[in-house]
Amino acid sequence: MDERYSRQTLFKPIGHSGQEGLEEATVTIVGCGALGSAIAETLARAGVGEIHLVDRDYVEVTNLQRQQLFTEEDAENMLPKVAAAEKRLKAIRSDLRLFTYLDNLDAVLMEKLIATSALVMDATDNFETRLLINDASVKHGVPWIYGACVGSSGVVFPFIPGETGCFRCLLPVLPAVNETCDIVGIISPAVQVTSALQCTEALKWLTGNREAMRKKVHHFNLWDNTQLDIGISRIKNPACETCGETPSFPSLQPAAQRTYAVLCGRDAVQVLPDPKRPITLEDAEKAGRQLDAEMKRTPYFVELHAFGHRMVLFGNGRLLIHGIRNVSEGRKLYHQLFG
């Protein structure tokens, strides 16, 4: 057993057998912002053998207050979060098997990842993606650890298929953490506590200590010095489209994939590429030259300023339009840019 984990194996509930379980485990982390970067670092340091990390965004200076894997240099270079995370995580642990995905999580990618994972960690910022994780979790029988935080509060709960109600049928009774960081702000300790609680549940599951898993939804507020555990064992909707008697897994259906979406917590609209009409980095540069726009190209994307907005086109054709929160405006600007 690697000496670097000696203090962890001294903890009796883990021991050598639990450490072996961690080293054999594959975990998918959805999101690499505040929660995702903290979770990724904790699980990498704990010895999880293989991590798959998905995120669609890049590092900005406003991230640095709470997203612990990133530096000022990453923000200056607008490095994709998964690329910056990979650089730091491999420096922390060179033998980590790390796979990164600079992409929007859709049903195809979600099912591909969950099929080889022992656990999924929620580090996203919107209900739509959580419903996607939830559907894949129940369909494939793989648990996921829900986590959300804003302001000084957070919520954590492990969803275990067949043992708990699922996210879809529990959504009406979960504590509200639906305000966004760009409206009410967030303090870093709320992130750290939420991620620590999520990672503790992950360690329990991956080391075979499943009887120790939380049975209640945990809500805390660090500023008010309050916490609440909410029992949900009796809350299960027999007609739930995900975990009910006749599941249809709606978030995994092709119709659930939206081409345009407002990004939660951001003044930005995301436009997904049309498979029938791929847009390349060269197309973005050509459009920028025609508009005499200020441009910057990196190995990952082209950034250009046009029509009064900052736009970022990634190599797979996905476009972020900053400075708007309206899908119809995003659609109009996309067509102005690419016809």
Catalytic residues: 181
Gap between the Cα atoms of 256 and 263, Å rounded = 16
Concatenated DSSP letters of 268-286: EEEEPPBTTB---HHHHHH
Nearest by Cα to 242 from 230, 257, 252, 255: 252
192 — phi, psi (to 5°)? -65, -40
User: Phi and psi dihedrals of 271, rounded to 5?
Assistant: -120, 120
Listed residue (128, 132, 89) closest to 114, CA to CA: 132
Tokens of 269: 């609209």
The C-alpha atoms of residue 37 and residue 82 are separated, in whole angstroms, by 9
**Phi and psi dihedrals of 55, rounded to 5?**
-160, 150
Q: How many alpha carbons lie under 13 Å from residue 114 in its C-beta half-sphere? A: 25
Distance, CA of 137 to CA of 128 (rounded, Å): 14
**Contacts for 239-248 with beta carbons within 8 Å, 24 or more apart?**
240/165, 240/166, 240/168, 240/169, 241/168, 242/131, 242/134, 242/135, 242/138, 242/166, 242/167, 242/168, 242/169, 243/138, 243/161, 243/165, 243/166, 243/168, 243/169, 244/169, 247/138, 247/139
Cβ–Cβ under 8 Å, residues 97 and 122: no
DSSP letters for 7-18: HHHTSTTTHHHH
SS3 208: coil
* Cβ-contact 126, 178 below 8 angstroms: no
